[in-house]
Each structure stands twice: as structure tokens, then as C-alpha cells.
Chain A
């Protein structure tokens, strides 16, 4: 996977200063949308699923390879009703959140320390680039060797994906702290600790939040892919088990659950971000 690792969507901290507010609000309005946009989205979704359903019913595609949405929904309802789904969801969520939280904490702390020290960031920059360009999913077998086949290896995989995204963004954030603010702090005779707490940390926060939103999708994908190779449980296991016996609607059902989890988390983060960064225009 080619990671777009430095998030460009941290507007208040862009090195060139705050972009003109007019432009930003217009972009935001187009991206956010009002009530009408929600209706359009639902309509789009219905049209897409409807076309898919029709294509399967008209036998334009082989239902064995691509089951109709109604079939997928039925499978999903069954999985929920029998309770078979929950152990899998819980397994995936545990690996995702454990690795994600650890990755965010370590990435943010390390990124902050490295970013604040020109010597350290100069020293580490080629190594971080190297680690970043390594396809870390490919390390999964190594993780199994190191920590065993159970959930720990998947947590490690998720961690390895999240930590570098958060790390590079946090470093970029510390390096784009407004110079005027730093000068001002010097003129007020602020101590280094005060500069860090009162200027650097609040400046970097938007970058960390943006990295969290971005990296959660990677975390979830990491957990699912890990389960496909290494698991006896989890949504990834459901996918592999389903495709192994041509139960393709189970594959889609697991994918739908994955998408729902990602969607819910992203919305939660969007609300949290809006609340935490309410000082933005």
C-alpha cells in the first residue's frame, strides 16, 4: 500500500500560515454538506445497491462470485441473530484498538521529542523514511515469530502501521509551529517548558488528530489482514473462511461490518475534532 503519510489537512498549522478563511469555509461547506447532501448520498447509495441487485437478478453476473445485496444483508442478519458475529467483531476491535492506541501514544510522544530537537530530527529522518517505505504488512510473519500467533502479533502489526503515520505527522507538526509565536514566547521570557506546553503542544494537536483519523483505517485494515493470515477468529478470519467454501455473502457481510466500524469511528473522531479544535474558524 502506498501511504500518503503526511496529512495535508491540518490547515491551521500549514507552514505558510493560516489559509484565508473564506477559502477554507467554502471548501468545508462543499466537503461537509448540509441536509440536501445527506439525501443525495442516500439516493446514490440506493441507486448503486439497486443496480447491483438488478444485475445479479438479471443474471448478468454469477451470484456465486458476486451475491446480491439482499443475500449479503440476509447473511449479516443471520450472523447477528445467531450471535456468531460478536466474537469475531470483538476480536478485530481488540486488536485494532490496542494497536491503535499504543501507536498513537508512542508515535505522538516520540514525534514530539524528535520534532523539538533539530539534531534528533536530522539524525532520524532517513531512518524514518526507510521504515515508512517498508511494506509493514509483509512483516506479519516476523511478528508471529517474535510474539506468537495469537492476538499479540496482530496488535503489533496494527501498531507498526499506526505509529509511523502518527510519528511523521507529529514531527511535521512540531516543525511548523508558527515562528511568530515562538518569538513572542521569547519576548515574554517563557521557559522551555512553557514554550512546549503553551505553544508547541496546542500547535501540534491538530496534526495528531488528523493523523489519528487517517491511521484508523490502516489500523482496522491491519487487524483484518492479520486475521486473514494468522487468525482463528475475527472479521479477517470470517472473510478467509467464507471465501474458502464459496460463501461469498459471508465475505461481503464481514466487509460491511468493517466499513461500518470505520465509518462510526471516523464520525466520532470528526465530532471530537470539531469540539477540541472549536477555535478554528
Chain B
């Protein structure tokens, strides 16, 4: 099944308390190919998270349509993995059971298979040995690693990520971005990454979409021609083309 995403003429208006409605995004059209990694950047309040919530089916847009794979989005699509800004781990569940949660809810694999898969994923994010630990015993970065593992648990073909690394300190962020990249580069899901961090967008994505101020419209799209596999650390410190992309995108950003 193809897992491209087509956003067509999407406008969304929130009713506001004072009576004046707020238009978050206006006439946004975007095609994302299967296996493509697209990052969306823009000034804060530009409606980029609204777009992600529309693609994930949490919000029904005021106008326009969204297709994920062959299906128009109505409700939350099944084949999508979502990674929120905060890890949202359930504090009463061990790491293993947190990673297994989406599988458990879906209910199509046995308990043994679920635990095995969750264990493998914890290993893949460098948390082997922490299966039984509760989130309260983990650092911020470790919790976010668990969230990364959880996102991959259902083997989704589409990943939607809403500023997933924004709450981390600078060093932890780079480590986890590299970790995420290494898993993604082996699997190549279609990704939409919302971020306010231009560096993150350029380092991870194939294309960076720049949103204007509210109401959010697409201002420009930048192809990032950096070779893969990538290393975020390497890009930041030693790659002149990376710096060039950064400058180009900064110029378009109304900050």
C-alpha cells in the first residue's frame, strides 16, 4: 500500500472565545511522496501543529481534504505512528509496557509477541535492561527514547511528529536525533516532522517546508540534498552545505 500524503487546499478556522474566529492555516496544499521525510518549520503560532493534527485525524479541517495512502483521513488512521512533544508515558507502566501500549490497544498480536517486540525496540533505542523500570526512574532523554521506541512499535508506514525533541537539552537532542535517524534510515517511513528548530529540520528531512505567520501558508519549500545516512553531529560541525541550507531557510522565516 502506498503511504504518501496529499494535503489539498486545507484551511482551518478555530472559533474563538471573543467571537472573532482565528484562521490557523489557509489554503495549504502539499504532496508528500511515500518514504519521504518532510519537515515543516515556521514562526510560533503559525498553525503548523494544526496541520499535523489534521493529518493525524485529530481535527477535521474547515475546508479542503487530506489523504494518507489511498484513504481520505476520517478519524485517526491506523497505519500512522505519532510522536508528541512530551513523551506522555503512562507513569504506572514499565518501559516495556509503555512501548507495547499501541500494540496492546490494537490487540492483534499475542502478549508474548508484543513483549518480545517491545524488548527489541527498547534495545534498539539503547535502553536494554530498563524493561522493568518505571518512567519516574528515567531521565528526560531516556523517557524520550522510550517514546521513540513506542512510535515504532506498530510498524507504521507513516510517522507524524510534533516537535518530538523540543523539550530536550542540546546534547541529548543530538544524540536522540541521531538515534531516530539510524532507525528511520533502515525503515524509511513517510514522515511529517513539525519543528521550530531549523537545524533539526535540515539535519533530518528531505524537504523543508517554511510556513508564514498566521494564518499559516506555505511560503517556500527547500530540497535538502545532503547524502544519507546522515549524522547530525557531523552535519552541524563539518558540512558547509548544511550551513548554506540553514541560511536559506532562516532568510524565509519571519521570526
Any chain B CB within 8 A of the CB of A18? yes
0/1 string, B73-111, CB within 8 A of A gives 1? 001101010101010101111000000011011100000
Q: Is the CB of A181 within 8 A of B88?
A: yes
Q: Which residues of chain B come closer than 8 Å to A202, judged between CB atoms? A: 90, 92
Interface of A is mostly: helix
0/1 string, B60-83, CB within 8 A of A gives 1? 000000000000000110101010
Q: Tell me the bound Cα distance from A185 to B75 in angstroms.
A: 13
Residue of B nearest to A206 (CB): B92
Interface of B is mostly: loop
Checking B56, B58, B86, B137 against A281 with a beta-carbon cut-off of 8 angstroms, the contacting residue is B137
Q: What's the nearest-Cβ distance from chain B to residue A46, in Å?
A: 39
Q: Is the CB of A189 within 8 A of B136?
A: no
Checking A183, A188, A277 against B102 with a beta-carbon cut-off of 8 angstroms, the contacting residue is A188
Q: Which residues of chain B come closer than 8 Å to A199, judged between CB atoms? A: 90
Q: Which interface residue of B56, B78, B86, B101 has the most chain A CB atoms within 10 A?
A: B101
Q: Tell me the bound Cα distance from A21 to B91 in angstroms.
A: 13
Give chain B's interface residue range (CB within 8 Å of chain A).
20 to 34
Checking A194, A198, A205, A281 against B136 with a beta-carbon cut-off of 8 angstroms, the contacting residue is A281
Q: Is the CB of A194 within 8 A of B105?
A: yes
Residue of A nearest to B133 (CB): A279
Q: Tell me the bound Cα distance from A194 to B92 in angstroms.
A: 16
Q: Tell me the bound Cα distance from A183 to B102 in angstroms.
A: 13
Q: Which residues of chain A come closer than 8 Å to B135, judged between CB atoms? A: 279
Q: Tell me the bound Cα distance from A198 to B102 in angstroms.
A: 11
Q: Which residues of chain A come closer than 8 Å to B136, judged between CB atoms? A: 21, 279-281
Any chain A CB within 8 A of the CB of B134? yes
Residue of A nearest to B135 (CB): A279
Q: Which residues of chain B come closer than 8 Å to A21, judged between CB atoms? A: 136
Any chain B CB within 8 A of the CB of A12? yes
Q: What's the nearest-Cβ distance from chain B to residue A22, in Å?
A: 12
Q: Which residues of chain A come closer than 8 Å to B80, judged between CB atoms? A: 187
Q: Is the CB of B92 within 8 A of A279?
A: yes
Q: Is the CB of A280 within 8 A of B88?
A: no
Besides A199-B90, A279-B134, 17 more A-B contacts (Cβ < 8 Å) are: A21-B136, A184-B88, A185-B105, A186-B58, A187-B80, A187-B82, A188-B101, A188-B102, A188-B106, A189-B76, A202-B90, A279-B91, A279-B92, A279-B135, A280-B91, A281-B136, A281-B137
Residue pairs across A and B with Cβ atoms less than 8 A apart, 27 shown, are: A12-B91, A18-B91, A21-B136, A180-B84, A183-B88, A184-B88, A186-B76, A187-B56, A187-B58, A188-B76, A188-B101, A188-B105, A189-B75, A189-B76, A190-B105, A194-B105, A198-B90, A198-B101, A198-B104, A202-B90, A277-B92, A278-B134, A279-B134, A279-B135, A279-B136, A281-B136, A281-B137
Top 4 closest pairs, chain A to chain B, by CB: A281-B136, A279-B134, A180-B88, A187-B82
